[in-house]
């Protein structure tokens, strides 16, 4: 009589553990799906912020490029269909961040600024 509950208990334990992930192990498919979704979210956010796809790749080196591009393209199509404008990024410079010049400033103004002040030139005597 004692031998019967043991197999039943083991069967219930196997069924309970097979239905969920209590140990925190993720399958390869779950990890791939999460990375794909994360890359699409990054790409969509970059497009909404008006960033070029190359800048998005440079700022997010760990994300998959194909997923970033897919998200960027989906957001681009969505923004065109709904006549949405890009939102300028409000990124503050940290010690390890890359500064990207704003797209609204013309390149000619940026190159003329040092020449107008006279700094950075050598005087010839």
Q: What is the rounded average pLDDT for all residues in the chain?
A: 77
Asked whether the beta carbons of 49 and 89 are under 8 A apart, the reply is: yes
Taking the C-alpha atoms of residue 101 and residue 89, their distance in angstroms, rounded to an integer, is: 11
Instruction: Tell me which residues of the chain have a pLDDT lower than 50.
Output: 105, 107-123, 125
Measure CA of the first residue to CA of the last residue in the chain; give whole Å.
Answer: 110
Domain ranges of the chain: 50-88
* pLDDT tens string 40-60: 999 999 999 999 999 999 999
Taking the C-alpha atoms of residue 59 and residue 2, their distance in angstroms, rounded to an integer, is: 63
């Amino acid at each position: 009589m004692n031998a019967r509950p043991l197999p039943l208990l083991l069967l219930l334990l196997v069924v309970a553990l097979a239905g969920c992930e209590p140990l925190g192990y993720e399958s390869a498919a779950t990890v791939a799906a999460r990375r794909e979704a994360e890359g699409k979210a990054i790409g969509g956010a970059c497009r909404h912020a008006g960033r070029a796809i190359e800048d998005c790749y440079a700022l997010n080196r760990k994300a998959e490029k194909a997923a970033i591009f897919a998200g960027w393209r989906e957001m681009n199509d969505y923004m065109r269909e709904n006549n949405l404008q890009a939102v300028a990024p409000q990124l503050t410079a940290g010690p390890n961040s890359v500064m990207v010049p704003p797209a609204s400033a013309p390149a000619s103004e940026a190159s003329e600024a040092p020449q107008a002040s006279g700094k950075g030139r050598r005087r010839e005597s």
